[in-house]
């Protein structure tokens, strides 16, 4: 075990790790006056910012959850690291060579586990990227070319190739001083009959990075027909990689997401690439899981979503039932976010990658521009199944769609959509439609979950309104 890091080195790490920059990698900060910055706290769920940073003193404090400390404490908390690991991580970023009380620079093998696993991923990503140029990887290069990606694009996103061997990567990492146990823990290898074997073989590899840019996992696409395993494989859950809270492309997109106050959620790695290359640099994707609560929190922090500071989250779907279900599920999440949620339905079911290949960059930008508010999308999806040419069909569609409208908590918004619903159905009787929605809302309201947080976050009128029945 390595000794204590020297105090003077710890002080140097603090000095060379500007707190606003480090915190700014995880959440959007804005000026709060008096030399302070504020943003949405990453450690508790909130809608208006109570997370404060004082760059001059190198400190942060959250008035919501009373968590606070210096830059090292922040890194410890946000990435679940020990003190030593946090210092090592900041030192690596700042280019500081740490010295330990035992004397001499510590060999890398003594560094904290997280640093070791991150380093293994960095070396692995480099290895895979180099392999993409080998003769064997021609299938991978063809795959990329057919999807409109050039060598420079692959390089920009760090796309690589995992050779069709049992232990190409294992050998390479052993040669760099990594222990078999570390490779298995990292999810880069798995136990075979005679020791660890490469987890990914004969696949195109996308490095998945955390917000600070460290590679923490891989997404892998199968390339060979005789490969009987799943089309896409991801790194399993590891100390570094938690698929529920990782967004592919977020490291590249986060600045633009903050600047444009927009995030575009697409379905795959190639879609993220296509969007970025087509001029939609705010695209991100989940990795082997559907979009969930943790993803929303990450985006909200990047968008610093609150009453006076609105952002948009645009989901792209091919319009199939899976996509619709995902959109409708958002209703069950909190509605404050839903009103900023949009849906862009892909024409002819073409995902952004196919769209770009077929119709060019402008078509991808058009797809994003053609977004519909989630409420409108949800209501129109419901009425799409009915024949609106008959009175019976219009009534049935009304009964199908009214519960969706009735579930809108914001009273004014509910009223607006009730009026729109009348127009979309062609009933031409707003009062009739409003009455139907009102009846349903009255029935739904007492049973609806009460939102305990709504009143206490300083949001004001909007949350109060949500409990009033039409
Ligand atoms: Zn907090």
Please tell me the predicted confidence (pLDDT) of residue 452.
38
In-domain check, residue 301: yes
Q: Provide the pairing of β-strand 203-209 with 189-192.
A: unpaired
The verdict on 158 and 105 lying in the same domain is no
Question: How far apart are the CA of 212 and the centre of ligand 1, in A?
Answer: 20
Range of the domain at 461: 384-465
* C-alpha 45 to ligand 1 mean position (Å): 7
Alpha-helix residue ranges (DSSP H) falling in 315-429: 321-329, 335-338, 352-359, 361-369, 374-383, 391-406, 411-425
User: Closest by alpha carbon to 128, among 236, 180, 200?
Assistant: 200
Cα of 29 from ligand 1 centre, angstroms: 14
Q: Are residues 63 and 178 in the same domain?
A: no
> Can you give the CATH number for the domain in which 351 is found?
3.40.1360.10
Kindly give the distance from the C-alpha atom of residue 30 to the centroid of ligand 1, in angstroms, as a whole number.
16
Distance 409 CA to ligand 1 centre (A): 26
β-strands 312-317, 262-266 pairing: parallel
**Which of 341, 332, 337 has the alpha carbon at shortest distance from 449?**
332
The enclosing domain of 77 has a CATH number of 3.90.580.10
Q: Are residues 180 and 256 in the same domain?
A: no
Cα(21) to centroid of ligand 1, in Å? 19
Question: What are phi and psi for residue 454, nearest 5 degrees?
Answer: -55, -40
Dump the DSSP string for 296-327. HHHHHHHHT-BTTB--EEEEEE-SSHHHHHHH
**C-alpha neighbours within 13 Å on the C-beta side of residue 146:** 7
For 195, left (φ over 0), alpha (ψ -120 to 50), or beta? left
Q: Are residues 69 and 120 in the same domain?
A: no
Cα-to-centroid distance, 74 and ligand 1 (Å): 12
Give the Å distance between the CA of 231 and the centre of ligand 1: 40
> Is the separation of the CB atoms in 454 and 463 below 8 Å?
yes
The answer to whether the beta carbons of residues 79 and 114 sit under 8 Å apart is: yes
How many angstroms does the Cα of residue 63 sit away from the middle of ligand 1?
6
Q: How far is the CA of 137 from the centre of ligand 1 (A)?
A: 48
- Give the model's pLDDT for residue 203: 97
Q: What are phi and psi of 319, to 5 degrees?
A: 80, 0
First CA to last CA distance, the chain: 66
**Ligand 1 center to 64 CA (angstroms):** 5
What distance in angstroms lies between residue 298's CA and the mean position of ligand 1's atoms? 14
Do 373 and 415 share a domain, yes or no? no
Q: Is residue 68 part of a domain?
A: yes
How big is the chain, counted in residues?
A: 470
**What total of structural domains would you count in the chain?**
4
For residues 275 and 330, state if they share a domain: yes
Q: Do 224 and 128 reside in the same domain of the chain?
A: yes
Residue 217 has phi, psi (to 5 degrees) of -175, 180
Element (H, E) at 118: helix 113-131
Distance 273 CA to ligand 1 centre (A): 34
In a domain, 33, yes or no: yes
Question: Considering only CA atoms, which of 123, 436, 236 is closest in space to residue 131?
Answer: 123
Q: Nearest-CA neighbor of 255 among 93, 14, 21?
A: 21
Which residues lie below 8 Å from residue 438, measured CB to CB, with a gap of 6+?
406, 469, 470
Centre of ligand 1 from the C-alpha of residue 456, in Å:
14
Determine the distance separating the centroid of ligand 1 and the alpha carbon of 345, expressed in angstroms.
36
Residues around ligand 1, an ion, CB closer than 5 A: 41, 43-44, 62, 64-65
Beta bridge partners of 309: 306
Cα(260) to centroid(ligand 1), Å: 25
Question: What residues contact residue 448 under an 8 Å CB cut-off, 6+ apart?
Answer: 407, 409
CB 225 within 8 Å of CB 186:
no
Ligand 1 center to residue 69 CA distance, Å? 12
What distance in angstroms lies between residue 24's CA and the mean position of ligand 1's atoms? 15
The answer as to whether 470 is a domain residue is no
pLDDT of residue 464: 30
> Is 264 inside a domain boundary?
yes
Residue 79 C-alpha to ligand 1 middle, in angstroms? 15
Residue for token pair 């404490």? 73
Q: Are residues 369 and 425 in the same domain?
A: no
Among 354, 379, 404, which residue terminates a domain?
Answer: 379
- Write the CATH number for 148: 3.90.980.10
pLDDT of residue 339: 64
Domain identity same for 153 and 57: no
CA distances from 50 to 33, 91, 142, 237 (A): 13, 28, 50, 32
Which residues, in sequence order, are CB contacts of 392 under 8 Å at separation 6+?
A: none
Distance 61 CA to ligand 1 centre (A): 8
Task: Tell me the C-alpha distance between 97 and 6, whole Å.
Answer: 11
**Whether residues 265 and 368 fall in one domain:** yes
pLDDT of residue 353: 96
Of 176, 207, 239, the domain-final residue: 239
Q: For residue 318, tell me if it sits in a domain.
A: yes
- Give the distance (Å) from ligand 1 centre to CA of residue 70: 15
Residue 2 belongs to some domain of the structure: no
Domain assignment present for residue 1? The answer is no
Last residue of a domain, one of 52, 84, 110: 110
On whether both 76 and 186 belong to a single domain, the answer is no
Same-domain pairing of 75 and 122: no
Q: Distance, CA 163 to ligand 1 centroid (Å)?
A: 45
43 C-alpha vs ligand 1 centroid, how far in Å?
A: 5
**Cα–ligand 1 centroid distance for 17 (angstroms):** 22
pLDDT the model gives residue 326:
64
pLDDT in tens, the chain (470 residues): 456 888 999 999 999 999 999 999 889 899 998 899 999 998 888 888 999 999 999 999 999 999 999 999 999 888 777 788 889 889 988 888 888 876 555 444 445 788 889 999 999 999 999 999 999 999 999 999 999 999 999 999 999 999 999 999 999 999 999 999 999 999 999 999 989 999 999 999 999 999 888 999 999 999 999 988 899 999 999 989 999 989 999 999 988 988 888 999 998 999 999 999 999 999 999 998 888 878 888 888 788 755 455 688 898 877 666 666 666 665 666 566 666 788 898 878 899 999 999 999 999 999 999 999 888 988 888 898 899 999 999 999 999 999 889 888 888 889 999 999 999 999 899 999 999 998 887 887 655 444 433 333 333 333 332 222 22
Contacts of 125 (CB under 8 A, 6+ apart): 158, 160, 205, 207, 215, 218
pLDDT of 118 reads: 92
């Amino acid at each position: 075990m390595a000794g204590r890091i020297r105090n003077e080195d710890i002080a140097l790490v603090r000095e060379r790790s500007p707190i606003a920059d480090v915190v700014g990698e995880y959440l959007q900060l804005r000026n709060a006056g008096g030399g302070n910055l504020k943003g949405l706290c990453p450690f508790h769920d909130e809608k208006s910012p109570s997370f404060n940073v004082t760059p001059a003193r190198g400190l942060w404090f959250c008035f919501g959850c009373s968590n606070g400390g210096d830059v090292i404490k922040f890194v410890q908390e946000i990435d679940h690291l020990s003190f030593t690991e946090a210092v090592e991580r900041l030192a690596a970023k700042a280019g500081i060579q740490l010295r330990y009380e035992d004397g001499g620079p510590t060999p890398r093998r003594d560094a904290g586990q997280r640093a070791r696993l991150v380093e293994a991923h960095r070396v692995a990503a480099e290895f895979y990227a180099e392999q993409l140029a080998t003769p064997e990887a021609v299938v991978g290069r063809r795959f990329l070319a057919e999807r409109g990606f050039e060598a420079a694009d692959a390089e920009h996103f760090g796309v690589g190739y995992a050779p069709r061997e049992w232990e190409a990567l294992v050998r390479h990492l052993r040669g760099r001083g990594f222990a078999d146990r570390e490779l298995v823990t990292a999810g880069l290898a798995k136990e075979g009959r005679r020791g660890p074997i490469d987890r990914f073989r004969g696949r195109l590899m996308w490095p998945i990075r955390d917000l600070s840019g460290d590679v923490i996992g891989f997404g892998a696409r199968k390339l060979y027909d005789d490969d009987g395993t799943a089309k896409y494989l991801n790194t399993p859950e590891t100390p570094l990689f938690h698929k529920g809270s990782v967004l592919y492309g977020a490291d590249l997109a986060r600045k633009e997401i903050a600047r444009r106050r927009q995030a575009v959620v697409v379905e795959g790695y190639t879609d993220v690439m296509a969007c970025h290359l087509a001029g939609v640099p705010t695209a991100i994707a989940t990795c082997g899981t559907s979009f969930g609560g943790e993803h929303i929190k990450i985006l909200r922090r990047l968008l610093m979503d609150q009453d006076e500071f609105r952002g948009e989250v645009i989901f792209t779907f091919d319009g199939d039932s899976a996509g619709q279900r995902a959109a409708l599920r958002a209703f069950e999440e909190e509605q404050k976010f839903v009103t900023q949620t949009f849906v862009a339905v892909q024409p002819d079911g073409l995902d952004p990658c196919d769209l770009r290949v077929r119709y060019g960059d402008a078509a991808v930008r058009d797809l994003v521009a053609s977004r519909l508010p989630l409420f409108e999308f949800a209501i129109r999806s419901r009425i799409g199944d009915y024949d609106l040419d008959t009175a019976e069909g219009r009534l049935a569609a009304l009964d199908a769609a009214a519960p969706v409208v009735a579930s809108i908590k914001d009273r004014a918004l509910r009223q607006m959509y009730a009026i729109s619903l009348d127009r979309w159905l062609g009933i031409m009787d707003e009062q009739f439609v409003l009455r139907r929605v009102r009846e349903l809302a009255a029935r739904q309201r007492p049973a609806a979950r009460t939102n305990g947080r709504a009143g206490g976050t300083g949001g004001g009128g909007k949350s109060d309104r949500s409990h009033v029945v039409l």
